[in-house]
């Protein structure tokens, strides 16, 4: 334990020292330039390490991934669009795409709805109970998805009939006289995928609640009083006065959750590894790369995911700019 702490302290010290030396050298380099050029270029020297890190750790890997998506499994020969055609023509990958679309359709919308409902209900409590309830709801955010999978594994656990059921849900239904259910194997109507989604909703609702609660508290009291004077009931005030004024925050929570859902991996990998028709794109990428050792197919999956994410990111950036212009 002491050795680990010492290693951590040395790592932090070396990292901070290297950063100080780097910026000192860049500052000295800027001071060598003539006065006018020093003033012009010094800001760019200071942001150069950040841009270099972005290029090295983000831009270059993205470009390399696109290149590998047109190569074979070992990235030793060009195969053109074969990786894309094989994936899109594969029935299993089509099911994976459908599952991912199902996650995208259900989870972000439900996260916003549940987060907004909890924010509004919690705001009606006295301050002590409000803080307590919000803390409890937000706590799952502190648990990793792998840890959440372990927790929910105890809820969905299934043992054959006749054995002691340690899973919470099966313990309840067997106590009521029913047979135990293999919850994560129920592929009818993709119910097992919905059971996995419940785990993500449990983890993400607290995030949604905190952001939307802050937005609701920021609604001017004058507009609410004006609506009440005009005879509007509480439901009309909520949907016609509060929601339009916090719409920007609603969109932010929705888009942020949507992007997270598009690359979801941990929950599916820990709980089912894509079995019983629960696979998603993130898990399929992992299996192609580390199980099938197919670099080309894995890269093609990542490129498809990037192409799907770019329009969402563009919309989010435009939404931020529009809000800033209206502020």
Mean pLDDT per 10-residue interval, the chain, length 327 residues: 88 91 89 83 88 92 95 94 95 94 95 94 85 90 88 91 89 92 88 93 92 91 89 89 91 91 92 92 94 95 92 84 74
Neighbours of 10 (CB within 10 A): 10
Rounded Cα distance between 194 and 252, Å, is 24
- Residue 11 CA: distances (Å) to CA of 14, 20, 25, 150, 191: 5, 14, 21, 32, 47
| Per-residue pLDDT at 248 | 87
User: DSSP class of residue 190?
Assistant: G
CATH number, domain 82-326, options 1.20.210.10, 2.60.40.1180, 1.10.3720.10, 3.30.70.100: 1.10.3720.10
Measured CA to CA, the distance from residue 193 to residue 186 in angstroms comes to 9
Answer whether 0.75 is exceeded by the pTM. Answer: yes
Interatomic CA distance for residues 97 and 89, integer angstroms: 12
pLDDT score for 327: 61
- pLDDT confidence of residue 126: 82
- Report H helices in 157-190: 168-175
Cα–Cα distance, 57 to 162 (Å, whole number): 54
H-run or E-run covering 97: helix 91-123
pLDDT value at residue 254: 93
Radius of gyration of the CA atoms of the chain, in A:
26
Cα dist. 87→81, 91, 299 in Å? Answer: 10, 8, 11
Look at residue 209 in the predicted model and tell me its pLDDT.
Answer: 94
Domain range list for the chain: 2-68, 82-326
C-alpha distances (whole Å) from 113 to each of 29, 102, 205, 213, 243 are: 54, 17, 9, 12, 11
**pLDDT at site 129:** 87
pLDDT at 3: 87
């Amino acid at each position: 334990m002491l050795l680990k702490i010492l290693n951590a302290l040395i790592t932090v010290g070396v990292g901070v020292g290297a950063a100080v030396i780097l910026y000192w050298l860049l500052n000295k380099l800027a001071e060598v330039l003539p006065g006018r050029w020093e003033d012009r270029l010094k800001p760019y020297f200071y942001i150069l390490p950040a841009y270099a890190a972005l290029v090295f750790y983000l831009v270059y890997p993205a470009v390399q991934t696109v290149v590998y998506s047109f190569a074979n499994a070992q990235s030793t020969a060009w195969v053109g669009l074969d990786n894309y055609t094989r994936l899109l023509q594969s029935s299993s990958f089509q099911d994976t795409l459908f599952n991912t679309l199902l996650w995208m359709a259900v989870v972000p919308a439900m996260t916003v709805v549940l987060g907004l409902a909890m924010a509004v209900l919690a705001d009606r409590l006295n301050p002590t109970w409000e803080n307590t309830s919000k803390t409890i709801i937000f706590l799952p955010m502190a648990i990793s998805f792998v840890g959440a999978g372990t927790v929910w594994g105890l809820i969905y656990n299934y043992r054959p009939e006749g054995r002691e059921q340690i899973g919470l849900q099966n313990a309840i239904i067997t106590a009521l006289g029913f047979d135990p259910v293999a919850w994560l194997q129920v592929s009818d109507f993709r119910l097992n995928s919905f059971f996995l989604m419940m785990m993500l909703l449990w983890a993400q609702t607290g995030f949604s609640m905190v952001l939307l609660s802050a937005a609701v508290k920021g609604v001017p009291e004058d507009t609410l009083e004006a609506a009440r004077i005009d005879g509007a009931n509480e439901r009309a005030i909520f949907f016609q006065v509060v929601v339009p004024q916090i719409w920007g925050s609603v969109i932010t929570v929705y888009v942020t959750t949507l992007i997270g859902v598009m690359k979801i991996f941990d929950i599916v990998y820990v709980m089912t590894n894509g079995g019983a028709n629960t696979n998603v794109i993130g898990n399929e990428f992992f299996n192609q790369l580390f199980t099938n050792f197919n670099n080309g197919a894995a890269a093609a999956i990542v490129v498809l995911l990037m192409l799907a994410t770019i329009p969402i990111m563009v919309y989010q950036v435009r939404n931020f700019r529009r809000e800033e212009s209206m502020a």
